[in-house]
Chain A
Amino acid sequence: MGIKYPDPIIAFEEFAQASDSDSSMEFFLENTLALDSPFVECREALIYFKKDFGEFLSSSRHLTRFILEKINNEPLAFRIRRVISGEKETITGVFIVLKSSVQHIYRLITVSRGSFWTETIRPFLRDLYPYVSIVFFRQKELEDALLSLEKSMMVQYPSKVKTSVIEVTSKSEQFVPGSNKKRSVATERSWTNLSLGDTFTDLQERGFWFKSIRVKIVISASYKSSSSQRAAIRLSKNGTFSCNGMYGYMRRFLITPLEKILSERMQLLEGRGIIEREYKPGPPLEIVYEGEVFTDSSKVRQFGEVIGRYQDAAIVVYHANPYFHANIADHRDGSSFELWVLSQNRILISPQATASAQALTRIINFIFDKFKEGVVDEFRSGAN
């Protein structure tokens, strides 16, 4: 049972300022923090950064919309203020940065209401690009992680655990009325009470993929504990998590395994630029789809239209139909790559002079979100 503080946000902020180590902060989050105020959750984002994140944030010369004040070195804690011009009040709050279980992945954590996360933390993370990369997870990876969480909880609390999905934000391709061929991606938000397995099956059968999913976990009362525990955990494709309880379980059984997947993915994307490879280009990357996607030229055209909407980039489309060839230069980072669609189930991404893992993550995430999610790997000549 946690100690009841009047306000978990204040409790978190005070502990973040007073704590003397990362491990005591972890202990606080896992064991002491009681999130029993409505709409207040522990929220976490996984981010990729190759150098010392603390040093980077401390210099904060890259930020124009935010003011950062360091309030502790260990754990690394900042008070952040977003200044919105024309408004009298500024949005302010505290976040901490902890290391993850793998190199170059950091955890940005806050205890807050949703508005602080949406209006301050998320824009702050976006502004940190290209230094910092917001990551992405594939549907299958999140499904497997959630099923693994459920299984681990069942092992820990045999016959006492019930998990169910309570909310899903999902996307699917829809026909545009009046057209047989053109499609758009529609978003649906639904509330349910299905099991994890049933939810995933339902989504797959209806051709949906989820952007975020909220799961309820209930651990019934037992001889060890006179009251039940319950919590709701949300996870999103872009590597963000939130919960209103059971942070320790979320950390141990859900986030830590996903960090390993993330680390492997970022290693795949690192070191791809021609100049950093000492002018010896490597093989292109591929996004492979199960089944045929580019079955006709309309689908290739649709892909081209999606790419045309890629922000903060220069796009030169050399050929749009029946095959696709374009060059993209990232205006925030200077990376450039070529995109090719030359078969029915694959997109090739050829890194050019410079191509950072952050820029590659951004374009892949965009394709997954606005077109279709696939599997990212290195293209192997002769294996196809």
Chain B
Amino acid sequence: MSSDQEQIRTDDKKVDDLTKEVRKLKDRCESYTSTIFALRGFILVIANNISSKSTSLNSSIGRKMTPLNQSNKREPYTPDLVIQLTPTSGIIGEVKALICENKDDRWNSYLEQVKKYDEDLEGWWTQDERISEVCQVFITELTNSAEIGDYLLKKINEDGNSLAHQFAVVEYGRLQRGREFLFFRKRGGDMPEVISSIFHEGVSFPLEELVTERDEKKFYDAKPADVEYIMAILWQDIFTQKVHERDQESVIYDENRKTFLLVVHLDELTQLLQRVYGSEGRKPREPEYPKKKWVEDALEKFVEIGLAEHTTDKNEFVIFYKDYKNPLEQIIKMTHKRKRKPSPPTQQLSFLD
């Protein structure tokens, strides 16, 4: 094979690798969004089915719950969802869209979390913030539910792992019947009678309704798997707006770099994302997301790939903004290139210099 042909093959492979990388990352981004839909959908399914039987349904996506045993003054737990079904019963839920491989029994960490949430927790919508009957629900995508569901249900029946409260595994997935639906079904375990039959048979919820009901939330109380997810949101929804909003004159165009110079501050940016797409954590027991660290990681990544730099204030950044046609792919290309590029060898200064 000639060297030209070899070069073409190498280039094709690079493009191929990048295309696969883009596709995988987009799938993970969409998975994160699906998780937010699953959280909201689970709450709405329950609310729609029992609202006539109950005067109100208090619920929260992410809620700081305090272990009753405060002897060590532990940090509150923050389950992904908390739903109070009746004045005396409720649900604590965790959603896992992506499940790691069970190498070296890594799934034991999921079991440990289940056991952790099995404690009596304060933070319910009652006078003393306590209730007597709690069901813990582990919600996971259809592709994972069989294996992880069987694993957890088997483990909790073993000696030493038994739980004080009810536990169930619920699977969710997309269903297409003319419209797109999100489908939920109990994989195994026990749930309160008031909702058990709903999930036993399976229930679907139109995704169009969830687009409205999620209130444009792009985050929940778990860090996205890829920093590029936050980077794309920042570029598309925040930086573009700051650079191009009408009558905006404070952003300078740098003729040398051929980019706009946009100054942003980590704290302000974090607060903006929380207010628009997440949770500010201002109300009692309300968690904060996205966390400041997630946003900081995203900004540092922009610096790493040459799309930003620090100012003298370590929390302030100058973004080198350009109008990219496809910012997410551009960002992935640049981070991908950065990963593939080997670090230059450090050179020792000649003692003669």
A217 vs B240: C-alpha distance when bound (angstroms): 49
Residues of chain A lying within 8 A (CB to CB) of residue B206: 342-343, 384
A379 to B246, CA, bound (A): 28
Residues of B within 8 Å of A274, CB to CB, are 216, 276
Partner of A342, one of B29, B30, B180, B216: B180
- A107–B105 alpha-carbon span in the complex (Å): 72
Cβ contact within 8 Å between A353 and B178? no
Which of A275, A353, A354 counts the most B-chain CB atoms under 10 A from its CB? A353
Whether A314 and B327, one on each chain, are in contact in the complex, defined by CB atoms closer than 8 angstroms, is: yes
**B226 located at the interface, meaning its Cβ lies under 8 Å from any Cβ of chain A in the complex:** no
User: Is A318 touching B30 in the complex (CB atoms < 8 A)?
Assistant: yes
- Contact between chains at A346 and B180 (CB < 8 Å): no
Known: A323-B180, A336-B237, A342-B211. A314 touches B244 (CB 8 A): no
A-B contact count (CB 8 A): 113
Chain A residues closer than 8 Å to B17, beta-carbon distance: none
Distance between A229 CB and nearest chain B CB, rounded to angstroms: 45
- B275 adjacent to A279 (CB under 8 Å): yes
Chain B positions 153 through 196: 1 when the CB is less than 8 Å from some CB of chain A, otherwise 0: 00000000000000000000010101110000000000000000
Q: A318-B33, A327-B236, A342-B180 are in contact. Are A281 and B325 (CB under 8 A)?
A: no
CA–CA, A183 to B223, complex, Å?
42
Q: Is A330 an interface residue (CB 8 A)?
A: yes
Q: Is B128 interfacial (CB-CB < 8 Å)?
A: no
Residues in B222-254 with C-beta less than 8 Å from chain A: 232, 235-238, 240-246, 248
Cβ-defined contact, B240 with A342, below 8 A: no
8 Å CB interface, A314-366 against B? 314-316, 318-319, 322-323, 325, 327, 329-336, 340, 342-344, 346, 348, 350, 352-354, 356
| Given A284-B211, A353-B237; A331-B276 close (CB under 8 Å) | no
- A window 125-173: CB within 8 A of B: 130-131
Q: Is B29 in contact with A354, judged by CB distance below 8 angstroms?
A: no
Known contacts being A314-B327, A316-B327, is A336 close to B236, with CB within 8 Å? yes
A296 to B211, CA, bound (A): 21
A318 CA to B328 CA in the complex, in Å?
Answer: 10
B324 / chain A contacts, CB cutoff of 8 Å? 314
B304 at the interface (CB under 8 A from A): no
A354 touches B241 (CB 8 A): yes
Closest chain B residue, CB of each to CB of A327: B236
Which of A327, A331, A344 makes the CB contact (< 8 A) with B244? Answer: A331
Is B129 positioned at the interface, with any CB of A under 8 Å from its CB?
Answer: no
Residues in chain B near residue A340, CB distance under 8 A: 207-208, 211
Interface string of B265-281 (1 = CB under 8 A from A): 00000001001100000
B21 CB, nearest partner CB in chain A, Å = 15
In the complex with contacts A319-B30, A333-B244, A343-B180, A381-B237 CB distance below 8 A: no
Question: Mask for B27-41, Cβ within 8 A of A = 1, else 0?
Answer: 001100100000000
Contacts known (A334-B243, A353-B237); A344 close to B179, Cβ less than 8 A? yes
Residues of chain B with a CB closer than 8 A to A332's CB: 244
Q: Distance (Å) between the CB of B24 and the closest chain A CB?
A: 13
Interface of A is mostly: loop
User: Which B residues touch A316, using CB under 8 A?
Assistant: 232, 236, 326-329
Q: With A and B bound together, what is the CA distance between A331 and B235 in angstroms?
A: 11
Size of the chain B interface, CB-CB below 8 angstroms: 41
| Interface pair A322/B325, CB less than 8 Å apart | no
Which B residues are CB-close (under 8 A) to A379? 208, 212
Contact count band on A: 35 or more
Complex CA distance for A344 and B179, rounded to whole angstroms? 6
Q: Determine if B240 and A329 form an interchain contact, defined as CB atoms under 8 angstroms apart.
A: yes
Which of A319, A342, A382 is within 8 Å of B179, CB to CB? A342
> Does B276 contact A334, Cβ atoms closer than 8 Å?
no
A283 at the binding interface (Cβ < 8 Å):
yes
CB neighbours (8 Å) of A329 from chain B are 236-237, 240-241, 327
Contacts of B213 in A (CB 8 A): 381
| A272 to B: closest C-beta gap in Å | 11
Instruction: Let me know if B216 and A322 touch, CB within 8 A.
Output: no
**Least distance between A129 CB and chain B CB atoms (Å):** 10
B237-A327 in contact (CB<8A): yes
Report whether B176 and A322 are in contact in the complex, using a CB–CB cutoff of 8 Å. yes
Q: Is the CB of B276 within 8 A of A353?
A: yes
The closest CB in chain B to the CB of A332 belongs to B244
Contacts of A322 in B (CB 8 A): 176, 180
Q: When the two chains form the complex, which single residue of B216, B245, B328 contacts A281, counting CB atoms closer than 8 Å?
A: B216
Q: Is the CB of A350 within 8 A of B244?
A: no
CA distance A320 to B237 in the complex (A): 20
B178 touches A344 (CB 8 A): yes
A314 near B246 (CB under 8 angstroms)?
no
B26 near A: Cβ within 8 Å? yes
Structural contact, A314 and B245, CB atoms closer than 8 A: no
Q: 18 pairs across A/B with beta carbons < 8 Å?
A: A314-B235, A314-B325, A316-B328, A323-B176, A323-B180, A323-B207, A333-B246, A336-B237, A342-B206, A342-B208, A343-B178, A343-B180, A346-B208, A350-B216, A353-B276, A379-B208, A384-B208, A384-B209
New A-B contacts (8) at CB < 8 Å, excluding given A333-B244, A340-B211: A130-B246, A275-B276, A314-B325, A331-B244, A334-B240, A343-B179, A344-B179, A353-B276
Which 7 A-B residue pairings sit nearest by Cβ, starting from the closest? A334-B244, A334-B241, A343-B179, A334-B245, A329-B240, A342-B180, A281-B216
